Amino acid sequence: MFRFAHIYYFYLLSVIPVFAGLLILFILWKKRTLSRYGEWNVIRQLMPDYSVGKSVIKFILIMGSLILLIIAMAEPQTGSRLEKVKRKGIDLMICLDVSNSMMAQDIKPNRLERAKQSIVRLVDNLEGDRIGIIVFAGKAYTQLPITTDYAAAKMFTSSINTGIVPTQGTAIAEALEVAANSFGESKHNKAIVVITDGEDHEGNVLEQADAALKKNITLYTIGMGLPEGAPIPVYNGDIQTGYRKDQEGQTIMTKLDETLLQRIASVGKGMYVRATNSETGLTKIFDDIGKIEKSEIEEKQFSDYEDRFQYFLAIALFLLILDLFIFERKTMWMKRFKPFDFDSK
């Protein structure tokens, strides 16, 4: 069993593209500045010992060591002893709608972000329960297999966005099918929570709800959005540029389909709650889920973990030491073979 004890350190990896962009800008700025003094080919002849390529190699070594240091900080571990443990809980699958309509802002800051915040708060209150996450739009995919690793659940939740599923739509029926099959042969009591605006584009959602009920799975639904609806924003990067329009140029309004979500919850012997700006409804549903009898299950888990960060740390130090022996100036050997001479072309 391999795991990372502190996975939040991986957020530091986001600085790597920033440093790469800064290097490119610096090289371009330096070349543009030197070009003011004459033709670049002439300038290069005045600096025969300078190598841009070796600077790039040094940068790669430093970034490689930084990545390895971040991995070491995340504290990779391997399980060394497997033992039987007992726990009480239920198995819970969250089906989260990630279609474009979930970016509507009638629920602040938007439907999707508010749903993600609620899932994180839910995870913080879990004890002994297993949780999994299904994301769906036009297709449904397993974002997180069912697990008791609550840190991983929060990390995977934070990474969810509307681009994670390439096909647009709202395939609630497929999400229910994938979620129901994700429980495996578990003997726990089971529940599925569907978080969506309810604009389904399939016709067999109630059949899938009934199929889940026959597997002793209780279904809950949360309606994200207000009945009057809201426009769907369009973004260019992080900047909102307007709202989605139809072929006639009219702004598209996305409205909550409460009727469908109420019917799903009714068929699944669960509960429907509509989110508001003050409450998403997940607390009410989880309070009801808490009334479901928690079964005691014996399972095998790794209890002792051994740290493996030292291997990544050793390689990182090796790359840093190697960087010290690479100079930006060309040596006689480099001049003859030119392994780093990228700017000779």
pLDDT digit string, tens, across residues 41-61:
666 665 555 566 677 888 889
pLDDT at 333: 46
As a whole number, the mean pLDDT across the chain is 82
| Per-residue pLDDT band at 127 (split at 50, 70, 90) | confident
| Per-residue pLDDT band at 336 (split at 50, 70, 90) | low
Report the range of poorest mean pLDDT among 18-32, 63-77, 123-137.
18-32
* Domains parsed from the chain with CATH numbers: 2-78+307-344 (no CATH), 91-293 (3.40.50.410)
62-100 burial: b if 16+ Cβ within 10 Å, else e: bbbbbbbbbbbbbbbbeeeeeeeeebebbbbbbbbbbbb
Flag whether pLDDT at 330 surpasses 60. Answer: no
Report the range of poorest mean pLDDT among 96-100, 167-171, 267-271.
167-171
Q: Exposed (0-12), middle (13-18) or buried (19+): which is 288, by Cβ within 10 Å?
A: middle
- Which of the pair, 178 or 330, is modelled with greater confidence? 178
Flag whether pLDDT at 111 surpasses 60. Answer: yes
- Percent of the chain past pLDDT 70, that is, above it, reads 81
Nearest-10 Cα torsion for 17, 22, 23, 29: 150
Listed ranges 44-48, 60-64, 265-269, 325-329; the one with the highest mean pLDDT: 265-269
Report the range of poorest mean pLDDT among 63-67, 178-182, 293-297, 328-332.
328-332
The pTM score is 0.66
Q: Are 136 and 102 in contact (CB under 8 A)?
A: no
pLDDT at 9: 85
pLDDT at 66: 92
